[in-house]
Amino acid sequence: ISILRRRVMKDDVFGGYCGCRILDRLRLDGKVAYVTGGGQGIGRAFAHALGEAGAKVAIVDLMLRKAEAVAYELLLKGIKSIAIAADVSKPEDVQRILETIVDRWGTVHIACNNAGVNMNSASEDTSLEEWDKTFSINLRVLFLCCQAAGRIMLNQGYGKIINTASMASLIVPHPQKQLAYNASKAGVVKLTQTLGTEWIDRGVRVNCISPGIVDTALIHSEDLKPLLQRWLTDIPAGKLAQVTDLQAAAVYLASEASDYMTGHNLVIEGGQSLW
Ligand code: NAD
């Protein structure tokens, strides 16, 4: 038995060492994270999850009041957290976010680029303004945030970037009218794939999460309300996702447990993209 045990514990056993303490490998102790759009909805849930797994978390949001409220929720749980008011569509704000975090905590290891917007109008009525605003927040921002955070991560040879895409990057959810949204989220996936493959050999992994329809303020806007009932019949799971259904994915992608994963689009949609 002792010979067998020694053989099993050796790292070079065929297939690798499997006494892997998997829950430890999901821990984020000592890591520094930020979450954009962290003031509510999916971003708030990601911030709680990353913090509970051990990370310090900067909550970034357009609305200071919301960011502060979430930072306070985390502090009450004993998680180190700060609130940063910023419009991530502005390059100077993105720079300020990273400077603030580096000043406070020395670096950044986990970038959760989650803020996004959704506007709905028939394709023939989509204005250039709506198109530009959607692409600015959903896609241009990711270029700015990934590049700024990525430079710090490449310098230190380690980083995890998690972008929020959408199931709409894969399918055209019926009967939504979201030309700009769908196209921008497809762009998020391609940006993620490109950076993910370009940077992995320098220690930076870039992945995205594509939620289905999640029960947040975003889908309770006046123009989307009439579609809610229809959506429910389109989801094999028979219900909307809750933000809690997405939290473990963020922790996994932020942790060393997912080190061999990059450029991936992790789809969590109750089976909707398969129908
Ligand atoms: P939400 O509207 O509930 O929250 C978005 C947060 O982002 C808000 O707190 C808002 O203040 C902040 N924000 C918006 N623009 C910003 C900016 N320029 N700078 C800084 N903060 C900004 O949205 P949500 O449902 O939590 O969605 C979060 C992400 O998930 C978005 O990228 C969205 O496209 C994506 N998503 C949502 C769903 C869904 O069904 N809710 C589905 C798929 C993907």
- pLDDT for res 235: 93
Query: Ligand 1 within 6 A of 196 CB?
Result: no
Positive or negative torsion for Cα 132, 134, 139, 142: positive
Q: Is 157 exposed, middle or buried (0-12, 13-18, 19+ CB in 10 A)?
A: exposed
Of the candidates 231, 141, 216, 215, the one whose C-alpha atom is nearest the C-alpha of residue 178 is 231
Read off the pLDDT of residues 102-127 as tens digits, 9 standing for 90 and up. Answer: 999 999 999 999 999 988 888 999 99
Query: Ligand 1 within 6 A of 88 CB?
Result: yes
First to last CA, the chain: 51
Query: What is the 6 CA–ligand 1 centroid distance (Å)?
Result: 51
Query: What is the 5 CA–ligand 1 centroid distance (Å)?
Result: 50
The C-alpha angle 201, 207, 213, rounded to 5 degrees, equals 175
- pLDDT for res 119: 83
Using only the alpha carbons of the chain, give its radius of gyration. Answer: 19
Query: What is the 125 CA–ligand 1 centroid distance (Å)?
Result: 23
Query: Ligand 1 within 6 A of 112 CB?
Result: no
User: What is the DSSP secondary structure assignment for residue 137, as one 8-state letter?
Assistant: I
Q: Rounded CA gap, 171 and 36, in Å?
A: 25
> What does the block give as tokens for 115?
């803020």
Question: What is the residue-level pLDDT of the chain in tens, covering all 275 positions?
Answer: 676 666 655 555 566 667 678 999 999 999 999 999 999 999 999 999 999 999 999 999 999 999 999 999 999 999 999 999 999 999 999 999 999 999 999 999 999 999 999 888 889 999 999 999 999 999 999 999 999 999 999 999 999 999 999 999 999 987 778 899 999 999 999 999 999 999 999 999 999 999 999 999 888 877 777 778 788 888 999 999 999 999 999 999 999 999 999 999 999 999 999 98
Please report, to the nearest 10 degrees, the dihedral formed by the alpha carbons of residues 206, 115, 226, 240 taken in order. Answer: 50
Is 181 one of the catalytic residues?
A: yes
Query: Ligand 1 within 6 A of 62 CB?
Result: yes
Long-range CB pairs of 124-128, under 8 A, 24+ apart, other chains included: 126/179, 126/180
Q: What are phi and psi of 113, to 5 degrees?
A: -95, 95
Query: What is the 218 CA–ligand 1 centroid distance (Å)?
Result: 7
> Residue type at 223?
D
Q: Rounded CA gap, 255 and 25, in Å?
A: 7
b/e for 26-36, b at 16 or more Cβ within 10 A? Answer: bbbeebbbbbb
- pLDDT for res 171: 92
Helix axes 141-156, 91-105, angle to 10 degrees: 30
Helices assigned H by DSSP within the chain: 2-9, 22-25, 41-52, 64-76, 91-105, 128-135, 141-156, 179-199, 228-234, 247-254
Q: Rounded CA gap, 234 and 220, in Å?
A: 17
Question: Probe ligand 1: pick from 61, 138, 139, 215, max atoms within 8 Å of CB?
Answer: 61
> Cis bond leading into 175, ω under 30°?
yes
The yes/no answer to whether this complex scores an ipTM above 0.85 is yes
- pLDDT for res 274: 93
Atom of ligand 1 nearest to the CA of 241: 40
